[in-house]
């Protein structure tokens, strides 16, 4: 009795092992990579909100090159039986897009749409009787796309969050120095007057101190009110010290009084 060969199931950390039929199908699709990359960069991705505003060289060169690299990496890996664990290229491009200010949702959606277009190309190339090979490649494509999207999102957020976290820590350090009466050594001192608030919330009947969850919830409400004030200065900072919550922000500069001509 003949037994049909099936690919071994994939784990979350590695791609599935593909059958010779699936590898052959991937190899037949590889010559279409350049055509697919051009179609994605100048056609498919145009439906994404915000994509049309990107510079032309970003679309035609960088995004097309990333799509081309991703498809070729996947198809060659499937055809030759090698893995596609090399994600440094995508991580570097994600960090570059973050530095340029490209929205994360746009970056991730181009990756997802690229995987969808590659799947459609595989379906077009597949012939009769290759349904099982298509199913294997679909599972492999989902696994590869998951790895790429995860690496892209992580690198993008690292590039965007690190500078913001550093600035926030500098503001907190300045606030602590002001409260302690010490000179500001971590960055420049605030330029102009600064408003410092000390807040003490209601105590708990059981412990005599407010619970951490209660303090965080109340602090968020105070922050929401402060941030919603259009007259508030930028660079606000909030934190906890000595068991109490504090906040500080630069006060808006007053406009110099203008002299008015006496009425006649």
Taking only the tens place, the pLDDT of each residue in 137-174 is: 999 999 999 999 999 999 999 888 776 666 667 777 77
Residue 73 maps to a domain: yes
Residue 30 maps to a domain: yes
Within 8 A by CB and 6+ apart from 79, the residues are 23, 24, 26, 27, 30
Phi, psi of 240 (to 5 degrees): -130, 140
Segments in the chain below pLDDT 50: 1-13, 233-235, 241-244, 248, 251, 253, 259, 264
User: For residues 30 and 118, what is the distance between their CA atoms, to the nearest angstrom?
Assistant: 10
pLDDT recorded at residue 122:
95
Give the orientation angle of helix 131-180 with respect to helix 64-80, to 10 degrees: 130
pLDDT recorded at residue 92:
92
Residue 36 maps to a domain: yes
CATH assignment of the domain containing 73: 1.10.490.10
Nearest CA to 102 out of 147, 145, 32, 55 is that of 55
User: For residues 211 and 141, what is the distance between their CA atoms, to the nearest angstrom?
Assistant: 48
pLDDT recorded at residue 261:
52
Q: Would you give the end-to-end CA distance of the chain in angstroms?
A: 113
Residue 54 maps to a domain: yes
pLDDT recorded at residue 124:
94
Residue 148 maps to a domain: yes
pLDDT recorded at residue 204:
55
- CB neighbour burial string for 200-238, b if at least 16 within 10 angstroms, e if fewer: ebeeeeeeeebeeeebeeebeeeeeeeeeeeebbebbbb
H or E, element range at 56: helix 56-57
User: For residues 97 and 191, what is the distance between their CA atoms, to the nearest angstrom?
Assistant: 33
Residue 168 maps to a domain: no
Residue 5 maps to a domain: no
CA 13 distance to own-chain centroid: 21
pLDDT recorded at residue 159:
87
- Look up the domain containing 99 and give its range: 20-163
Residue 250 maps to a domain: no
- CB neighbour burial string for 103-136, b if at least 16 within 10 angstroms, e if fewer: eeebbbbbbebbbebbbebbeebbeeebeebbeb
Alpha helix segments (H runs only) across 81-188:
88-100, 104-125, 131-180
Number of domain units in the chain: 1
Helix %, strand %, coil % for the chain, to 5? 60, 5, 35
């Amino acid at each position: 009795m003949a037994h049909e060969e099936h690919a071994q199931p994939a784990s979350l950390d590695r791609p599935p092992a593909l059958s010779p039929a699936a590898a052959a199908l991937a190899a037949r699709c590889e010559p279409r990579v350049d055509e697919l990359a051009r179609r994605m960069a100048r056609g498919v991705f145009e439906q994404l909100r915000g994509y049309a505003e990107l510079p032309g060289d970003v679309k035609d060169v960088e995004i097309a090159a990333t799509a081309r690299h991703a498809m070729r990496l996947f198809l060659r890996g499937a055809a030759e039986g090698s893995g596609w664990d090399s994600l440094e290229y995508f991580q570097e491009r994600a960090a570059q897009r973050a530095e340029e200010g490209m929205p994360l949702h746009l970056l991730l959606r181009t990756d997802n749409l690229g995987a969808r277009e590659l799947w459609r190309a595989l379906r077009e190339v597949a012939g009769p009787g290759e349904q099982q090979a298509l199913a294997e490649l679909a599972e492999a494509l989902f696994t590869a796309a998951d790895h790429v999207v995860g690496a892209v999102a992580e690198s993008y957020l690292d590039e965007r969050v690190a500078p913001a976290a550093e600035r926030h820590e500098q503001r907190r350090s300045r606030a602590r120095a002001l409260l302690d009466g010490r000179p500001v050594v971590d960055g420049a001192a605030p330029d102009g007057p600064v408003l410092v608030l000390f807040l003490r919330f209601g105590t708990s009947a059981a412990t005599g101190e407010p619970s951490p969850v209660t303090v965080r919830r109340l602090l968020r409400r105070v922050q929401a009110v402060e941030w919603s004030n259009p007259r508030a200065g930028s660079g606000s900072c909030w934190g906890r010290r000595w068991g109490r919550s504090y906040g500080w922000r630069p006060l808006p500069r007053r406009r110099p009084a203008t002299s008015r001509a006496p009425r006649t």
